[in-house]
């Protein structure tokens, strides 16, 4: 049975590949990314050529997340699956990173996941079904001695995604 799937962070990498794979399997895929008409235009166009719907969504913005979820629901009437894939990583020595840079990592990797999850849950509850998949990183489980900022802050943000997912299993 075909599902309606919203995926965050689809301009490149796992998100892009996942969107292609699920669309080929017959699902209705809404691939989301920042700036699909500007910075990520080439990636959005490639996805559209494959019949994949593209929506603008920035996980670091409440308004953007709400707008994108409303758009998907208006266009398709439901969201069966949310794949929280958007995330950022940073590497370097710890003292080179500012608190604002660390906040940006957490805002995307942790709070962004919360934003998108909260935005789709009312529809999933109304449907009485839904699946939320959170994509993380091995960095959430293992840190590397020479990883600097990636070790202490980025790994904590990735680990928070796992903890959030584990504690949210009964929400939908």
Mean per-residue pLDDT, 32-40:
95
Residue matched to tokens 């940073």: 90
Q: What is the pLDDT of residues 52-99, one digit of tens each?
A: 999 999 999 999 999 999 999 999 999 999 999 998 877 777 778 888
What is the maximal distance between C-alpha atoms in the chain? Answer: 51
pLDDT of residue 49 exceeding 70? yes
Helix (H, G, I), strand (E, B) or coil at 84: strand
**Cα 15 from Cα 88, distance rounded (Å):** 13
Q: Provide the β-strand partners of residue 82.
A: 6, 132
Question: What average pLDDT is seen over the chain?
Answer: 86
What pLDDT shows up at residue 21? 97
**Cα 16 from Cα 155, distance rounded (Å):** 23
- Where does the pLDDT of residue 159 fall: very low under 50, low under 70, confident under 90, or very high at 90 and above? low
In this structure, what token pair is assigned to residue 125? Answer: 């509850």
Query: 84 near 135, Cβ under 8 Å?
Result: yes
Reference 147, options 87, 104, 90; nearest CA is 90
Q: What is the pLDDT of residues 116-133, one digit of tens each?
A: 999 999 999 999 999 999
**pTM of the predicted model as reported, rounded to 2 decimal places:** 0.84
Residue matched to tokens 């590497």: 91
Query: 30 near 53, Cβ under 8 Å?
Result: yes
Query: 112 near 86, Cβ under 8 Å?
Result: yes
Q: Mind listing the domains of the chain with CATH numbers?
A: 4-167 (3.40.50.720)
What pLDDT shows up at residue 172? 41
């Amino acid at each position: 049975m075909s599902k309606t799937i919203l995926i965050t962070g689809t301009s490149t990498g796992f998100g892009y590949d996942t969107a292609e794979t699920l669309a080929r399997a017959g699902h209705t895929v809404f691939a989301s990314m920042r700036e699909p008409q500007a910075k990520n235009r080439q990636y959005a166009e490639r996805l559209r050529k494959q019949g994949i719907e593209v929506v603008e969504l920035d996980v670091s913005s409440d308004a953007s997340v709400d707008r994108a979820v409303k758009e998907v629901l208006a266009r398709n009437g439901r969201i069966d699956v949310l794949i929280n894939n958007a995330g950022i990583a940073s590497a370097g020595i710890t003292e080179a990173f500012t608190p604002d840079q660390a906040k940006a990592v957490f805002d995307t990797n942790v709070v962004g996941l919360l934003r998108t999850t909260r935005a789709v849950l009312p529809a999933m509850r109304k449907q009485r079904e839904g699946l939320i998949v959170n994509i993380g990183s091995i960095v959430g489980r293992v840190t590397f001695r020479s990883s600097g900022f990636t070790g202490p802050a980025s790994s904590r943000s990735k680990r928070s995604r796992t903890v959030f997912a584990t504690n949210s299993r009964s929400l939908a």
